[in-house]
Amino acid sequence: MPDFQIRVNATRTGPFRDGRFQRAASQYSDALNYAVAEHGEKLVKTRLNQVLKKQTPYYRLRITVRRNRGGYEVTDQGVIYGPWLEGTGSRNAPVTRFRGYATFRRVKPIVDRDANRIAIQLLNRYQARGLLR
């Protein structure tokens, strides 16, 4: 049996080699997290408009998206009566009859459901600009 040797010389070029793909993927991931959080913020504000009996703007204006360690979060920025409105405070039922509106808890499954659609739409935009292929 003859002895064969194979030699291969390869030069790596392109988006993986120079880091363009990694940067674009990181930007996409950050943009996706922000877009999903913004969607959640919109849904929380819409729900609050439906459930709040007395429409005062203070609490709704405090609902915002902010950067957190793992990405982004929708928050009421620590409004003192936020847990009471949500129904998780110590002054809710059984102490009082008010059980809270559970706004954030009811919106979360909707945001989770819509996240895939948002991801696909954003990916299409990134691909159209030639950032991810």
pLDDT for residue 14: 65
On the CB side of 31, CA atoms within 13 Å amount to: 16
- The structure's pTM equals 0.81
The whole-angstrom separation of Cα 61 and Cα 76 is: 8
Task: Read off the pLDDT band of 122 (50, 70, 90).
Answer: very high
| Residue 59 burial class via C-beta count within 10 angstroms: exposed 0-12, middle 13-18, buried 19 and up | middle
pLDDT in tens, 27-69: 999 999 999 999 999 999 999 999 988 878 899 999 999 999 8
Instruction: Give the mean model confidence (pLDDT) for residues 95-99.
Output: 86
